[in-house]
Amino acid sequence: MLTIEWSLASGWEKPYIKPLENLSLHPASSALHYAIELFEGMKAYRGVDGKIRLFRPTLNMDRMARSARRTTLPPSLGVKKPTKALLYVILSPVGSYFASGSFNPISLWADPKYVRAWKGGTGDCKLGGNYGSAIYAQQEALEFGCQQVLWLYGEDHQITEVGTMNLFLYWINEDGENELATPPLDGIILPGVTRQSILDLALNWGEFKVSERYITMSDLTAALEESRVKEMFGAGTACIVCPISKILYKGKHLHIPTMENGPELTTRFLNKLSDIQYGREDSDWTVLVS
Ligand SMILES: *Cc1c(COP(=O)(O)O)cnc(C)c1O
């Protein structure tokens, strides 16, 4: 096998031809070449009582099974259906978001020239290919001084997800109702465990309208002009919730008043979910690890 290593510090090293090492993942693996690969992201929380809890792990396992079904569909391109698989579980300490004491809002870059996912694609599965292809846009967001990409979709610039988080908008909708809105699971949205949990909590509270609905950039800009936007936030296992303060769209900086509004609802979800995850509140959403 010809092997040439590369690093940022020294660039390309000398090429070597040497026998294939006994690697557990073969370099010709279809996981590397065709991204026949999937992953999951789940945390274990050490609670205030010292016990370790998983948060709704069956939702992750169900999603993993759906991703696996999608990757092993009858293949095209002469790529054969896999006959072997390798499962890695990487355990790494991540610390708690609270420990860092920060609840800093993020700025987003929205440009329809890049698309994260499309109808008939794999955006609703946690497949590696969805993420590697998003890095280029993320880099461009940083060049524009923004922290993450706001992924748009379609001619009407629907807002779909933010970076690798689901997106929520808490606003006064077109009919004058208080509404918590997130895009529907129509194939281009990753069904997040945090997204589902936020919807479940809000429906249970019953204090405002909860909708899985389309939201376009023009819906958002109209609402901003009419001061109907309360809070906007991303949601995912890594940060639980992440407030959004700015969107750069068509060369204009749109100010999102999330922080000015508390952010009351975003903080309430953060507190409620972390109370459950860290065992401050009993819930059948957690599973104890013995
Ligand atoms: C993992 C992921 C999420 C969040 O899912 P959680 O289960 O809440 O962690 C949202 N969007 C994308 C694109 C993701 O990959």
Sorted by sequence, the CB contacts under 8 Å of residue 72 that are 6+ apart come out as: 36, 81, 82
The answer to the question of residue 16 being in a domain is no
What's residue 162's pLDDT? 97
- Residue of 116, 164, 185 best suited for mutating to test ligand 1, as the one with most atoms within 8 Å of CB: 164
The answer to the question of residue 191 being in a domain is yes
Q: Which backbone phi and psi does 111 adopt, to 5 degrees?
A: -145, 120
* Average pLDDT per block of 10 residues along the chain, 290 residues long: 93 93 82 89 94 97 93 57 80 64 87 96 94 93 97 98 97 98 98 98 98 98 98 96 98 97 97 96 96
- Residue of 237, 242, 277 best suited for mutating to test ligand 1, as the one with most atoms within 8 Å of CB: 237
The answer to the question of residue 254 being in a domain is yes
The answer to the question of residue 79 being in a domain is no
The answer to the question of residue 234 being in a domain is yes
Total number of domains constituting the chain:
1
Ligand 1 pocket list (CB less than 6 A): 41, 126, 161, 164-166, 190, 192-195, 236-237
For residue 155, give both structure tokens. 């001619």
For residue 57, give both structure tokens. 């792990």
What's residue 80's pLDDT? 65
The answer to the question of residue 284 being in a domain is no
CA-closest residue to ligand 1 atom 10: 165
Give the separation between CA 57 and CA 91, rounded to whole angstroms.
15
Q: The CATH number of the domain where 228 resides is what?
A: 3.20.10.10
The answer to the question of residue 85 being in a domain is no
What's residue 274's pLDDT? 96
Q: Which of 182, 179, 139, 135 is nearest to 159 (CA)?
A: 182
The answer to the question of residue 287 being in a domain is no
For residue 256, give both structure tokens. 């999102």
- Residue of 42, 94, 165 best suited for mutating to test ligand 1, as the one with most atoms within 8 Å of CB: 165
Sorted by sequence, the CB contacts under 8 Å of residue 157 that are 6+ apart come out as: 110, 112, 216, 217, 218
Task: Quote the distance between the C-alpha of residue 253 and its chain's center.
Answer: 23
Q: Which of 242, 103, 222, 104 is nearest to 168 (CA)?
A: 242
DSSP 3-state assignment of 289? strand
Query: What is the domain extent for residue 218?
Result: 106-277
What's residue 95's pLDDT? 66
